[in-house]
Amino acid sequence: MTEMPIAKHQLDACGLLCPEPVMLLHSKVRDMAPGEVLEVLATDPSTERDIPRFCQFLGHTLLQHEQQGDRFRYLIRKKEA
């Protein structure tokens, strides 16, 4: 069983609605070093569609996606340079 990496960065987008979570995610990832991991928390159900597409479009890796009640949690690894 592979252990999930520990997120060096966090983004709490709870309570924000589309497009704010992805806009904040884009800004946060821009400031990270390649290979670093970000944990994103959100409550907007549209993030289930938008965050995987964001990762795919920009080449980042979505390591984990889970729902805990009304909260969504994502682990994202920034693409290598």
Catalytic residues: 18
Surface-to-core class of residue 68, CB atoms within 10 Å of its CB (0-12 exposed, 13-18 middle, 19+ buried): exposed
- DSSP helix/strand/coil, 76: strand
